[in-house]
Amino acid sequence: MNSPVPPPSGVIDQYRIATQPYYRAGGDEIALFEAAYAARMPMMLKGPTGCGKTRFIEFMAWKLGKPLVTLACNEDMTASDLVGRFLLDAEGTRWQDGPLTIAARHGAICYLDEVVEARQDTAVVIHPLTDARRALPLEKKNELVTAHPDFQLVISYNPGYQSILKDLKQSTKQRFGALDFHYPPRAIEIEIVAHEARIPDATAATLVSIGEKTRHLKGHGLEEGASTRMLIHAGLLIAQGVDPVAACRVTLVRPITDDVDMRDALDGVVTAFF
Amino acid sequence: MNDVAVHFADQRKPLAWWLRALWNDGTALHPFGATLSVARPYRSNIGLHFPDQYRAVQGAGGALVYRAGLAHLAAHHAFSGPARSRKGLKPVQVALFGVLEDARVEHLAMREFPGLRRLWSRFHVAQAGGSASTFLSLAVRLSRALIDPDFADDHPWVRKGRSMFFHPAGDLNDPGFPRELASLLGNDIGQMRLQFNAKTYVVEPLYRDDNAHLWLPEDDDDSTAQALMVEDDILLVNPEVIETEGGDVIEEESDDDDAEAGVKPVGTGADDDPELATVALDALRVVTYPEWDWMIGASRPAWCTVQERRPMPGDSAAIDAILARHASLVDRIDSLVGGNELRKPERLRKQMEGDRFDLDAVVTAMLDVRTRRTPDPRVHIRVDRRERDLAVLVLLDLSQSTNDVVEACQARVLDLAREATVLLAHAMEKVGDQFAIHGFCSNGRGEVQYQRFKDFGHTFDAGVKARLAGMTGQWSTRMGGALRHATAQLVARRNDRRLILLITDGEPHDIDVHDPRYLLQDARKAVDEASRAGVFTYCMSLDPKADHYVQRIFGPRNWTVMDHIAKLPEKLPALYLRLTR
Ligand SMILES: Nc1ncnc2c1ncn2[C@@H]1O[C@H](COP(=O)(O)OP(=O)(O)OP(=O)(O)O)[C@@H](O)[C@H]1O
Ligand SMILES: [Mg+2]
């Protein structure tokens, strides 16, 4: 409203999710998230990569009927990439809202994926949005954006693999409620893999078994076992008629390790199943 | 790539990861020095133990043997449950229980890991048909029938075992499941009169472990279980006894023991009884043995007299010339034997004799003394090379017929046998086996001449070479008496495995016997007696027409007929190494 250059009408509409994303709940996360949303509580989704966090938030946005603004964070990111910046155009300068500002202004759910990847000084810009103020100061523009009532901030956070140096500050963490995500329970993961890769349940079950076995090696030569996402990738190749052992090599074994001995061990895991 | 030896050291990491991935199991993996093909993986209380190397097996890389063995041990761990008592089972039933239990746990494991069937079944290469005259020959077929659905075998016993194993009413999940089956099938073996020797029985195929962990050790009231008990004692490696230094317990330990035990150069005979050697040289014995008369179905007591004769020395240079002439063959033998002489010692607990006390055994024995029970005298720890503690007596037939000239090479049978023996001696020395070379001929039942060219205590020195060079052939072949005399020498030895390797060019025969079946039946009897005394007999026959009688004397497997006698010098060492691999 206060913006000198109001966004063209419907700018937020591109962030709406039209059709229901496929999400298979593993527990009571949907209800918990609904409650958190009702309180507009900032939420943190914890869990290893590829376990369904992104899919979950897409589903929740759809279910709550809110637009979803997603931003994958990285270490080159500056505060401006989140908040917005002045651009030069024919008339001179023009302010362009960043994704966070768009979400706050228009009442979207803002999902900052892997927020730890962003530099610390970048991450602190979210603080004012996460406490009672629910406001976003645009210092360059000298504007304080009060968050739309529908706005919610959600971040994802994988406690597993990043260095202590990169960890979120306590002061940041404590602003969020947290939901733990894991690789789904076996039966559910089978359902997911079968659905996403369009393969028979039996094949999906084998892939899930392989995934489970690789996860035993977390901390023993592997940073992380094969994710649900990787299992789906294997299934997608199998659905195209690729030999299962080869499909697993390409999508599960090779991407996960560069160590020759580990590769041998994982190849052995795959061949134990086919 | 397939026929290169695979070393455990290169496989440890992937194997450990594989174990952890598939079974979420972080059990330690250890190598042990293995030279015999009978070396099998095993589980101890410090982890899983594997031969330190495998040569290529049935076209599969050794890496797969390790993997197959690891999966098998893991399957036992998952499904075999606690050790059980052997009571009430005959040795053959104990062995069969193992066969069935191996199959049972593999089937349970294959329910989760179907790919293991391919991994395991490639090692099951037993063929249907052929002679089924030993327990082992049937057991390996049953093993294959239980894992390989495409394997067709009409043998009634194999069929029976298979259909009972897969009977819908049977519950593979029940750890007691194999027991009844083992009893039934074992009784059938008894009724078929198939030979079974618990002492020499080795689990097949080679990836399978020794199954010692299936049984409670405290079961020795059953004397038939003794053979397996010995194995148990060997297999129990107690971590308290091993002074751990750093990461790899077993290896540290072995090096240490090498120094302690003072690894002796092979063939010095330092651990042989010096008296025995002297006897061989000086006191010539005359011993009278019974002989078996198949017509009356009884032994004739004190019937056949064996007289030891001092060999006439020849020129030892002739023997050196043999080695020189076969230099490339000697090289080949050396490379075949490879690094095997560097065997790692193992620590054996509960031994009659040894370097130091086995504390646990001492405590138990003292408790027994206090409570007025008879203490077990086996209270020592001995460092030993259990993989290959072999004594071989090479027994040469020196009858008249060995003077015949072999057309192909214009050499006498005797010369070829001598050459072969010299090369064989080289191989045995290289491997580190203890061996003796004796010969015999006969002149009626009163005079079976027996000569010792080399005894266990001797080094293969100029004296031995001279005696071998002076070897001559005369008279007849009264095999039984010679075999009994040879057996008596081996029975006196303490080695784990004792072998008579008979090299002969014809069937038993003597001037005072006219029934051809008489000496043949007697020889067969002598082989039986030897095997009952724990002495294994193997015959290398140089008679191309031998098939019809060697089998009757030595049983279905323990003989080879050389079709081309000229090839004997190269074939004999190779045969020996294969036989004892
Ligand atoms: N519970 C689930 N329901 C439906 N699909 C799922 C579920 N969990 C995982 N998936 C599937 O796995 C894929 C990867 O999940 P997703 O992208 O949500 O992982 P993520 O946890 O966000 O990973 P990252 O941390 O790398 O972003 C999804 O595209 C989806 O196909
Ligand atoms: Mg076994």
Of A30-34, A166-170, A222-226, B70-74, the one with minimum mean pLDDT is: A166-170
CA atoms within 13 A on the CB side of B67: 29
A152 or B58: which carries more pLDDT confidence?
A152
Check whether B64 has a pLDDT greater than 60.
yes
> Range with the lowest mean pLDDT among A237-251, B186-200, B343-357?
B343-357
CB-CB contact of B172 with B78 (8 Å): no
Q: What mean pLDDT is reported for chain B?
A: 81
Which pLDDT score is estimated for A6? 44
Question: In sequence order, what are the beta bridge partners of B435?
Answer: B392
Answer whether A269 sits within 8 Å of B22, measured CB to CB: yes
B93 CA to centre of ligand 2 in angstroms? 15
Res A164: pLDDT: 44
As a 3-state breakdown, chain B gives helix, strand, coil percent values, each rounded to 5, of 45, 20, 35
pTM: 0.57
Distance from CA of B69 to the nearest CA of A (A): 13
Maximum mean pLDDT: which of A127-141, A229-243, B380-394: A229-243
Residue B536 has pLDDT above 50, yes or no: yes
Is the C-beta atom of A98 inside 6 A of ligand 1? no
Per-residue pLDDT at B256 exceeds 70: no
ipTM above 0.85, yes or no: no
B26-52 exposure pattern, b = at least 16 Cβ within 10 A, e = fewer: ebbbbbbbbbbbbbbbbbbebbbbbbb
A216 contact residues in B (CB cutoff 8 A):
20-22, 24
Helix (H, G, I), strand (E, B) or coil at B350: strand
Give the pLDDT band (50/70/90) at residue B260: very low
**CATH C-level class of A13-180:** alpha beta
Q: Domain B274-340+387-579 in CATH: superfamily?
A: von Willebrand factor, type A domain (3.40.50.410)
Q: What pLDDT is attached to residue B1?
A: 43
CA B95, CA B522: separation in Å to the nearest integer? 31
Count Cα neighbours of B278 within 13 Å in the Cβ-side half-sphere. 3
Better-scored residue on pLDDT, A178 or A125: A178
Task: Tell me the domain boundaries of chain B.
Answer: 6-79, 91-235, 274-340+387-579
pLDDT for B37 equals 59
CA dihedral B485, B487, B491, B492 (to 10 degrees): 30
All structural domains of chain A with their residue ranges: 13-180, 186-271
Q: Give B43's pLDDT tier (boundaries 50, 70, 90).
A: confident
CA of B210 vs chain A CAs: smallest distance (Å)? 23
CB A249 near ligand 1, within 6 Å: no
Q: Which residues contact B448 (CB under 8 A, 6 or more apart)?
A: B304, B305, B306, B307, B440, B441, B442, B478, B481, B482, B485
Look at ligand 1, atom 8, and give the residue with the nearest C-alpha: A52
% of chain B residues with pLDDT over 70:
82
Task: Say how many Å lie between the CA of residue B82 and the centre of ligand 2.
Answer: 14
